[in-house]
Amino acid sequence: MSMKISTRQVDGVTILDLSGRITLGEGSVQLRNAVRELLGKGSKDILLNLAEVNYIDSSGIGELVSAFTATRNQGGELKLLKLTKKVHDLLQITKLYTVFDIKDDEAQAIAVFTHK
C-alpha cells in the first residue's frame, strides 16, 4: 500500500495528513515532492500528521529529516504530529526524537509555530 497525502490549512500552518507507508519507492518520494511544492509556494510552516502512518523505513526517516532541514533552511518550521508507537520507537532509537518538535495535540502544535 502506498502513502496518501492530503493537505489543509489551519491558522497559517499547512497540515499534511499522511497515511500508509513511508518507505523507499513508496511514500518517500511523495513526501519529498509535497514538501518541496509547499516550500516553493512559500508555505514554510508545515505540520506532518503521522497518525495514520503505520510503517516507515530508514529511507522514510531520512526523508523526514531532509524535509525538516529543507524547511529550516528556508526560514520555516516543520513539526510532527501524533506519532504511532512504531514511528515513535524508531525516532527514539535513531535519536531523532529530540531533533523534531513532536506534538500529540493538533491545536497545541499549531499554537507553537512562531511565524504563522
Considering only residues 75 through 94, tell me which ones interact with other proteins, judged by CB under 8 A: 86, 90, 93-94
Decide: 108 and 7 in contact? Cβ < 8 Å. no
C-alpha cell read off for 70:
529543507
String of contacts with other proteins for each residue 16-55, x by CB under 8 A: -------xxx------------------------------
Question: Cβ of residue 106: shortest distance to other proteins, in angstroms?
Answer: 26
Give the number of other CB atoms < 10 A from CB of residue 49. 22
Q: Which range, of 35-43, 62-70, 75-83, 107-115, touches other proteins by CB under 8 A?
A: 62-70
Cα–Cα distance measured from residue 94 to residue 3, given in angstroms and rounded to the nearest whole number: 22
Contact 20, 54 (CB under 8 A): yes
15 forms part of the interface with other proteins (CB under 8 A)? no
Distance of CA 20 to the CA centre of its chain: 13
Residue (80 or 110) nearer to other proteins, CB? 80
